[in-house]
Amino acid sequence: MNPQALKNVRVLDLTHYISGPYCTKLLGDFGADVIKIENPLVGDPCRKMPPFDEANPNSNDSLLFQYLNTNKKSVELDLKSDLGHLAAEKLVRDSDILVENFRPGTLASYGLSESKLRTLNPNLVVVSISNFGQTGPYRDFEATDLVFYALGGLMFIFGSINKSPLKHAFHQAQFKAGTNAASAALMAFYEMINSGTGQKVDISIQESMAAAVRDTTTSYAASGIVRTRQTLMNGELPRAPIQVKDGYIVPITFGSTDWNKTANLLGDESLADPKFQTPEGRRMHAEEFENLVKAAFIRRGKHELFYGAHSHRELVYGLVQDAA
């Protein structure tokens, strides 16, 4: 895709923290002219969020903030002041897309209600990102990433059945909502071009996470079965990363053929025992099988296993990689 596909599109960025800035970053990455507005007194709180540049101990620049705000212009405006309000109105008139992630009702309290925005710019696409959407009984509720995972339904299916539910690390819900907002902004902009009418997009971070549970809701609707966490091994390779000599790897097997290939890859004759040749046999001797598997993997390096699996045995393995 052309990295300058949005070069003639101006985006007014009234966002802070993660979800909104990530949305506008994605638009800026494809050439949009993004103008970020910050309060002159406090700025974007993300400026104070780690990680920071450890090589420069005197720097207070947040690396997360820098990542989220590449390809943007920055302007300080106090939207509560008369001068700031007038400047904001001019920017609204000259913009194609406005993105904001204040609490519902905040933008209106600054004199920039949806009707006011529509008066200033009838063709404007307005994208609002909030915890639970602009309407509904939860609209004013506070939340964190942990809450979004819990209420979105993802937490219930992550982890092992014999342990508490888990969530992914970092601010995944925020990034998911930002991605959804950018996609929706482009669809709304396309509709505006075709219809000549401005559009309104309402993004709920919680609903963004609920949409990621894939087939669990349709499965429940069709069968009444509530999908939950699963056992990690139960006589098979773990449905999770497994520790090796120098890190972790994710091994996937499909049936007995793949298991025989895996046993050969690991080079442990004890795993070739006939009692382990079928899923039923592996489940019948699950404890012994799991101990042997863990011991075999810990003796091997992750790159040895990864390239050996893909190059010679056509197995589906994945490296658990870090930033280095």
In this model, does residue 257 exceed pLDDT 70? no
pLDDT band at 65 (very low <50, low <70, confident <90, very high): very high
Dist CA 177 CA 172 (whole Å): 9
Q: Pinpoint the residues of the chain covered by CATH 3.40.50.10540.
A: 10-213
pLDDT exceeds cutoff 90 at 11? yes
Least confident of 45-49, 87-91, 104-108, 240-244: 240-244
182's tokens: 């950018």
Q: Where in the chain is the domain with CATH 3.30.1540?
A: 242-319
**Lowest-pLDDT range, 88-92, 170-174, 259-263, 300-304?**
259-263
pTM: predicted TM-score of the whole model, two decimal places? 0.85
| Confidence grade of residue 198 (pLDDT, cut at 50, 70, 90) | very high
> Tens of pLDDT along 212-245?
887 788 888 888 888 887 665 666 676 678 999 9
DSSP 243-307: EETTEEEEEE--HHHHHHHHHHHHT-GGGG-GGGSSHHHHHHTHHHHHHHHHHHHHTS-HHHHHH
Going by pLDDT thresholds of 50, 70 and 90, the confidence category of residue 113 is: very high
Range 10-213 has CATH code 3.90.226.10: no
**What are the angstrom distances between the C-alpha of 170 and each of 46, 141, 146, 261?**
14, 21, 10, 36
pLDDT at 2 > cutoff 80: no
For residue 125, give the 3-state DSSP assignment: strand
Beta sheet of 72-76, edge-to-edge order:
72-76, 33-38, 10-14, 97-100, 125-130, 199-204
The CATH code of the domain at 242-319 is: 3.30.1540
Q: What local confidence, expressed as pLDDT, does residue 233 receive? A: 62
Looking at residue 130, what is its pLDDT?
98
* Pairwise CA distance, residues 78 & 39, whole Å: 5
Cβ(201)–Cβ(181) below 8 Å = yes
